[in-house]
């Protein structure tokens, strides 16, 4: 098993932030796919009850179907964990940690994501 | 050359080479009779003995050769003489000689009459017109088959065992089939009213029309004298009932013994026919025996006698006579009339004291009108220990208990303490075994991806797996393609209920309501968004289960374009991109082809689109063309081209109406009786885009041959000469199930009205991802209940259901046309939000001249580029 890459939790020192789209391009509750360098990243906007939004970025790769599809999954909650369900076989991944909620030990990489001047930026290792 | 003549050789003449006559020959040979006897047999038909019981299989493709009971070379090998196509014309009992029709005279030492029976033809005017047939011999069947080519509909006179066999034959020949019975029920000799009703419903479900209590007055003929219908003496509520329009009539209303030969020979006869025989099967002439259907044989130890119309007692008589001829003293005292048959594919069994006529007999009945299963168990009077023995019974629809019960009747197996548990196992806590998941055996495979059987799922429930998620963890069931999840859910609920555990109908962790309850909440409170619903009646943020389910409800209730505003976030990826996600992340596109009718220009356009976009094409099972391998960013361009040639969304991506498949109907087909294509198109255009708990498939057949397979669809319509029959809740998928007849002989407007109501009732009350057949199997009261709701409007909701449907029809728009016309809506169709580059990880290879996704190893993307994560 390769080490768990948790970019969001501990960005590598040489991280680069890359502009991907306007915040207005995102639909609350859905994701989009972005090419960051040569990586496919799924970016999700989750709207909060009080009207504030929160952004998440995971790898777009679904390890169960081996297809690049996570950005097209449905966002929701399991208990109090925010998650996205793969559109292929419906396994869920924690939006914060990338962990599979169905199969222990499986996870997808997470990326740093932020909003600067109405633009969405994703970090990736340089 | 020495020759030893122990006793002079004697001659046995056997008259008739039917099933029983031939059995006699076999037993005699088996016992070495040819050492002493010369055996001469006369076979009136041009064919040697064949299986008359399996006669109707002739129409399923079984050949006359396969039906034959005579091994090739049988007569030659054993030195028997057989005269085929010749019959005994007279018997001279004084000189002990028979003379044949061809003038042959044979002296006999023993004579056996095995002349069988002939079909009874009621004395009706026109009963000998061209188009009238009996159902007895292979020649009869060949004549029926040839004549059936020129007619659409046929009637069988007689609703007994033989009549239903004949009905099966007409059905196999593709005729609209009617059964006309004088008595008030089918099979009056074998089953009671309730059993007959279950049988009737099952037969009607097969599309055979049953008319009981009919007093036929005349066979109606056309100008050329050929059959064109039946006229009845019955009165309906509005005066005399209509003639039944049929082009042929098959009489199968019972048998009469072929006894004219015996009568002419002066043998003792029964008052109503039949040659009287004793317990040795000997007639009033000691050298003459009679066996099979021509014999009036003992019925029990008393002087009562009867004709045995079943083959088993006939065989018994044959064995008795063979023994007597060889000097034995075997006896025939009567026979068990137990029968187990498969009539039109339906199990029917009747055995022992089936009607509970013996003193002290009591009957226990189990009736499942959902599955049309009826079981009646008859027990004798209680003994000293208050135990009752099984003495008879009848089984309709499921005769799997027949062997066990017959053994109990015969005393070969002890009757259990509570005999009623045999047919109704509730007392032991196992619940009645019905058609649903409870009826599946433990080895039935539920999840074929992971090869998980019912037994494994049940034992996992026993170990505490009480949700579908638990079940996935425990058994892997449902973690493959996911197609079995509804079945797993049904099994889970069934088993938990059986174990007395509390069953939750909650849709998911965000809603404590079932889909039906949520639907009512949405409808009654006029809720128009998911957030409104989850705030007022749920918790959390929803998930991939409740979001699409609610989106579907909002769409069913006329929510407009499904991807606007908040609804966009609710849709499964298929609905979100209005295309079908495939395993490699690409999509497939299916344009609507209403009724399966497509113009050459549309075909060319589809082909050109496939070529231009490099798509794989395949004909679907629903008479449409599927274009595979489209990337998200290609979808709007593909659809612009398709919309330009007048095509629209086929909703293959949605839980919605797919196709209304049709046969070509009477527009082209020689056999069609209605215009099935037009009705299919009209139905498809009416219900296109209708969102439902699951996909909806439909079909319209132009005649009873059912080429569109309408009985295997969620709703299906079959043309009759008088209108349309509507079937509902059929399924052709993983648990195939015949649709049930909702109503018959409807006009077009009524077809639409009933289907509007039926569909909206299903949409309101079904569970998430519950196909109509699963919904129907759980519906209390079955088809009668459905008819009361949809036809009789006993719930008083039909006006609402029709209004809901009218709203759907009025507000329908093609989702793809609405999408490509609006640049804002087109924006979402990009592989990447920050690049116009297509998805580099979609890789195709070519197979048989078409693209398909690369398999692992065929094309490996650079792992350094993938960010594929850990663990797999």
Query: Checking DSSP bridges between strand B216-221 and strand B227-232, what pairing results, if any?
Result: antiparallel
CA distance B574 to A100: 23
What are B184's two structure tokens?
Answer: 């008030």
Strands (E), chain A: 16-22, 31-36, 39-47, 53-59, 61-62, 67-68, 74-78, 81-85, 92-94, 110-111, 113-116, 119-124
Task: Give the tens place of pLDDT for each residue, B363-381.
Answer: 888 888 777 888 898 998 8
End-to-end alpha-carbon separation of chain A, Å? 23
Q: Is B129 helix (H, G, I), strand (E, B) or coil?
A: coil
Are B780 and B789 a contacting pair, CB within 8 Å? Answer: no
Average pLDDT (B549-559) is 84
Q: Which of B834, B839, B858 should we substitute to test contact with A (largest number of A Cβ atoms within 10 Å)?
A: B834
Task: Convert B331-361 to b/e letters by CB count within 10 Å (16 or more is b).
Answer: ebebbebbbebebbebbbbbbbbbbbeeeeb
Could you tell me if A11 lies within 8 Å of chain B, comparing CB atoms? no
Are B333 and B316 a contacting pair, CB within 8 Å? Answer: no
What are B850's two structure tokens?
Answer: 């078409």
Q: What percent of chain B has pLDDT over 70?
A: 94
For residue B824, what is the nearest residue in chain A, using CA coordinates?
A: A25
Task: Give the tens place of pLDDT for each residue, B760-800.
Answer: 999 988 988 899 999 998 887 788 889 989 999 888 889 98
Q: How many beta-carbon pairs below 8 A join chains A and B?
A: 154
Residue B249: name the closest of B142, B149, B151, B139 by CA. Answer: B151
Confidence of residue B610 (pLDDT cuts 50, 70, 90): very high
Tell me if A39 and B866 make a contact (CB, 8 A cut-off): yes
Task: Please tell me the least confidently modeled range out of A92-101, B27-36, B394-403, B667-676.
Answer: B394-403
Q: What is the pLDDT of residue A2?
A: 36
What are the angstrom distances between the C-alpha of A15 and each of A12, A23, A37, B483? 6, 21, 12, 43
Report whether pLDDT(B133) > 50.
Answer: yes
CA distance B462 to B10: 73
Higher model confidence: residue B361 or residue B677? Answer: B677
Q: What is the pLDDT of residue B434?
A: 33
Tell me if A106 and B868 make a contact (CB, 8 A cut-off): no
Confidence of residue B649 (pLDDT cuts 50, 70, 90): very high
Q: What percent of chain B has pLDDT over 90?
A: 48
Query: What angle do helix axes B311-325 and B19-30 make, rounded to 10 degrees?
Result: 40
Task: Convert B13-49 to b/e letters by CB count within 10 Å (16 or more is b).
Answer: bbbbbbbbbbbbbbbbbeeebeebbbbbbbbbbebbb
Q: Please return the burial class of B53, using the count of CB atoms within 10 Å of its CB with bins 0-12, 13-18 and 19+.
A: middle
DSSP B298-365: E-SSSS-EEE--SHHHHHHHHHHHHHHHTT-----------EEEEETTEEEEEEESTT--STT-EEEE
Are B680 and B662 a contacting pair, CB within 8 Å? Answer: yes
Report whether pLDDT(B740) > 50.
Answer: yes
Please state, rounded to an integer, the average pLDDT across all residues of chain B: 87
Task: Give the tens place of pLDDT for each residue, B173-214.
Answer: 889 999 999 888 898 888 888 889 889 998 998 889 999 999
Q: What is the pLDDT of residue B432?
A: 34
Task: Convert B555-575 to b/e letters by CB count within 10 Å (16 or more is b).
Answer: bbbebebbbeebbbbbbbbbb
CA distance B309 to B307: 6
Q: What is the pLDDT of residue A9?
A: 47
What are B379's two structure tokens?
Answer: 């027990």
Helices in B418-514 by DSSP H: which ranges? 454-462, 468-475, 485-498
Are B144 and B248 a contacting pair, CB within 8 Å? Answer: yes
Q: Which of A35, A85, A100 sits opposite B544 (nearest CB)?
A: A85
Q: Which of residues 38-97 of A touch B (CB under 8 A)?
A: 38-41, 43, 46, 59-61, 63-69, 72-80, 82-83, 85, 87-90, 92
CA distance B590 to B657: 13
Distance from CA of A103 to the nearest CA of B (A): 8
Are B766 and B775 a contacting pair, CB within 8 Å? Answer: yes
Query: Which residues on chain A are in Cβ contact (under 8 Å) with B562?
Result: none
Average pLDDT (B441-469) is 79
CA distance A94 to A110: 10
Query: Which residues on chain B are in Cβ contact (under 8 Å) with A64?
Result: 872
Task: Please tell me the least confidently modeled range out of B67-71, B503-507, B687-691.
Answer: B503-507
Average pLDDT (B585-598) is 95
Could you tell me if B832 lies within 8 Å of chain A, comparing CB atoms? yes
Q: What's the full length of chain B, in residues?
A: 872
DSSP B535-566: HHHB-TT--TTHHHHHHHHHHHTT--STTSGG
Are B84 and B68 a contacting pair, CB within 8 Å? Answer: no
Residue B422: name the closest of B361, B355, B482, B376 by CA. Answer: B376
Q: Which of A39, A79, A103 sits opposite B867 (nearest CB)?
A: A39
Tell me if B867 and A75 make a contact (CB, 8 A cut-off): no
Characterise B607 by phi-psi region: left (phi > 0), alpha (psi -120 to 50), beta (else): alpha
Question: Residue B699: beta bridge partners?
Answer: B661, B716
Q: What predicted TM-score, i.e. pTM, was given to this entire model?
A: 0.54
The vertex-B692 CA angle with B628 and B620, nearest 5°, equals 30
Could you tell me if B569 lies within 8 Å of chain A, comparing CB atoms? yes
Average pLDDT (A103-114) is 91
Q: Is B108 helix (H, G, I), strand (E, B) or coil?
A: coil
End-to-end alpha-carbon separation of chain B, Å? 92
Could you count the other beta carbons within 10 Å of the beta carbon of residue B139? Answer: 11
Confidence of residue B96 (pLDDT cuts 50, 70, 90): very high
Query: Which residues on chain B are in Cβ contact (under 8 Å) with A74?
Result: 543-544, 547-548, 569-573
Are B281 and B289 a contacting pair, CB within 8 Å? Answer: yes
Confidence of residue A21 (pLDDT cuts 50, 70, 90): very high
Please state, rounded to an integer, the average pLDDT across all residues of chain A: 84
The rounded Cα B121 to chain-centroid distance in angstroms is: 30
Task: Please tell me the least confidently modeled range out of A49-53, B386-390, B604-608.
Answer: A49-53
Nearest-10 Cα torsion for B151, B157, B159, B161: -90
Task: Please tell me the least confidently modeled range out of B410-419, B598-607, B848-857.
Answer: B410-419
Could you tell me if A17 lies within 8 Å of chain B, comparing CB atoms? no
Q: Which of B569, B574, B871 sits opposite A106 (nearest CB)?
A: B871
Tell me if B479 and A98 make a contact (CB, 8 A cut-off): no
Q: Which helix (H) or strand (E) holds B717?
A: strand B715-720
Are B196 and B172 a contacting pair, CB within 8 Å? Answer: no
Q: What is the pLDDT of residue B509?
A: 85
The rounded Cα B721 to chain-centroid distance in angstroms is: 22
Residue B79: name the closest of B18, B1, B11, B6 by CA. Answer: B11
CA distance B685 to B680: 9
CA distance B102 to B114: 19
Distance from CA of A12 to the nearest CA of B (A): 15
């Amino acid at each position: 098993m390769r080490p768990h890459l948790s970019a969001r939790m501990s960005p590598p020192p040489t991280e680069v932030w890359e502009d991907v789209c306007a915040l207005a391009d995102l639909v609350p509750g859905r994701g989009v796919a972005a090419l960051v360098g040569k990586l496919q990243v799924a970016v999700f906007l989750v709207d909060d009850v009080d009207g504030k939004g929160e952004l998440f970025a995971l790898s777009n790769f679904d390890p169960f179907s081996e297809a690049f599809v996570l950005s097209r999954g449905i966002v929701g909650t399991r208990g109090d964990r925010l998650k996205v369900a793969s559109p292929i076989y419906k396994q869920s991944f924690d939006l914060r940690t990338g962990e599979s909620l169905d199969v222990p030990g499986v996870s997808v990489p997470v990326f740093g994501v932020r909003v600067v001047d109405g633009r969405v930026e994703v970090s990736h290792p340089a | 050359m020495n020759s030893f003549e122990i006793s002079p050789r004697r001659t046995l003449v056997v008259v008739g080479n039917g099933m029983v006559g031939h059995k006699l020959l076999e037993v005699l040979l088996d016992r070495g009779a040819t050492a002493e006897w010369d055996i001469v047999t006369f076979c009136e038909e041009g064919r040697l003995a064949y299986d008359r019981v399996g006669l109707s299989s002739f129409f399923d493709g079984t050949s006359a050769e396969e039906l034959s009971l005579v091994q090739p070379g049988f007569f030659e090998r054993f030195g028997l003489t057989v005269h085929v196509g010749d019959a005994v014309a007279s018997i001279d009992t004084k000189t002990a000689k028979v003379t044949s029709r061809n003038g042959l005279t044979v002296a006999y030492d023993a004579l056996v009459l095995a002349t069988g029976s002939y079909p009874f033809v009621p004395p009706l005017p026109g009963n000998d017109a061209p188009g009238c047939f009996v159902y007895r011999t292979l020649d009869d069947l060949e004549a029926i088959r040839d004549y059936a080519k020129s007619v659409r509909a046929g009637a069988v006179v007689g609703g007994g065992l033989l009549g239903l066999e004949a009905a099966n034959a007409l059905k196999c020949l593709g005729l609209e089939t009617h059964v006309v019975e004088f008595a008030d029920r089918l099979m009056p000799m074998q089953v009671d009213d309730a059993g007959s009703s279950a049988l009737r419903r099952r037969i009607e479900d097969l599309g055979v029309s049953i008319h009981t209590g009919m007093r036929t007055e005349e066979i109606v003929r056309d100008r050329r004298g050929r059959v064109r219908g039946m006229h009845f003496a019955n009165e309906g509520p509005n005066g005399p009932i209509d003639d039944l329009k049929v082009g042929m009539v098959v009489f199968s209303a019972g048998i009469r013994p072929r006894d004219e030969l015996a009568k002419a020979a002066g043998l003792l006869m029964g008052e109503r026919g039949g040659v009287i025989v004793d317990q040795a099967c000997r007639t009033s002439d000691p050298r003459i025996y009679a066996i099979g259907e021509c014999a009036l044989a003992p019925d029990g130890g008393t002087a009562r006698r009867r004709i045995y119309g079943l083959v088993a007692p006939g065989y018994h008589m044959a064995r008795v006579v063979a023994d007597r001829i060889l000097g034995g003293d075997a006896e025939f005292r009567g026979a068990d009339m137990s029968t187990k048959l498969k009539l039109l594919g339906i199990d029917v069994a009747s055995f022992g004291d089936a009607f509970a006529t013996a003193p002290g007999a009591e009957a226990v009945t189990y009736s499942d009108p959902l599955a049309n299963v009826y079981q009646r168990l008859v027990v004798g009077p209680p003994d000293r220990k208050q135990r009752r023995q099984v003495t008879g019974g009848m089984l309709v629809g499921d005769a799997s208990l027949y062997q066990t019960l017959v053994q109990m009747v015969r005393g070969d197996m002890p009757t259990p303490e509570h005999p009623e548990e045999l047919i109704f196992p509730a007392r032991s806590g196992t619940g009645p075994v019905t058609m649903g998941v409870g009826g599946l055996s433990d080895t039935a495979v539920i999840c074929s991806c992971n090869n998980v059987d019912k037994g494994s799922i049940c034992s996992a429930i026993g170990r505490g797996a009480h949700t579908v998620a638990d079940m996935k963890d425990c058994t892997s069931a449902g973690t493959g393609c996911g197609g079995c999840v509804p079945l797993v859910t049904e099994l889970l609920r069934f088993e938990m209920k059986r174990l007395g555990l509390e069953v939750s109908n909650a849709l998911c962790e965000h809603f404590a309501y079932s889909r039906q309850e949520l639907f009512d909440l949405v409808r009654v409170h006029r809720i128009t968004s998911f957030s409104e619903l989850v705030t007022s009646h749920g918790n959390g943020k929803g998930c991939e289960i409740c979001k699409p389910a609610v989106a579907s409800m909002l769409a069913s209730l006329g929510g407009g374009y499904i991807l606007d505003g908040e609804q966009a976030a609710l849709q499964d990826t298929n609905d979100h991109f209005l295309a079908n996600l495939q395993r490699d992340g690409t999509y497939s596109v299916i344009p609507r082809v209403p009724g399966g009718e497509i113009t050459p220009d549309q075909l060319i356009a589809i082909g050109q689109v496939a070529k231009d976009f490099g798509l794989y094409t395949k004909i679907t099972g629903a008479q449409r063309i599927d274009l595979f391998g489209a990337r998200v960013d290609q979808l709007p361009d593909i659809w612009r081209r398709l919309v330009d040639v007048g095509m629209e969304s086929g909703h293959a991506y949605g839980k919605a109406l797919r196709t209304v498949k049709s046969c070509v109907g009477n527009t082209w087909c020689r056999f069609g009786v209605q215009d099935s294509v037009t009705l299919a198109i009209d139905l498809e255009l009416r219900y296109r885009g209708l969102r439902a708990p699951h996909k909806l498939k439909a079909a319209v057949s132009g005649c009873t041959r059912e080429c569109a397979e309408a009985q295997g669809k969620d709703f299906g319509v079959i043309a009759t000469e008088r209108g349309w029959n509507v079937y509902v809740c059929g399924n052709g998928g993983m648990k195939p199930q015949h649709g049930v007849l909702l109503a018959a002989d409807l006009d077009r407007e009524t077809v639409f009205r009933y289907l509007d109501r039926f569909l909206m009732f299903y949409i309101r009350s079904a569970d998430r991802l519950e196909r109509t057949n699963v919904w129907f199997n759980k519906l209390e009261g079955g088809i009668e209940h459905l008819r009361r709701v949809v036809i009789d409007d006993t719930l008083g909701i039909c006006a609402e259901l029709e209004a809901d449907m009218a709203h759907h029809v009025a507000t329908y728009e093609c989702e793809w046309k609405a999408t490509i016309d609006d640049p804002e809506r087109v924006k979402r169709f990009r592989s990447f939000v920050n690049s116009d580059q297509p998805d580099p990880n979609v890789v195709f290879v070519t197979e048989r001249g078409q693209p398909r996704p690369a398999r692992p190893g065929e094309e490996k993307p650079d792992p350094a580029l993938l960010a594929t994560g850990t663990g797999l």
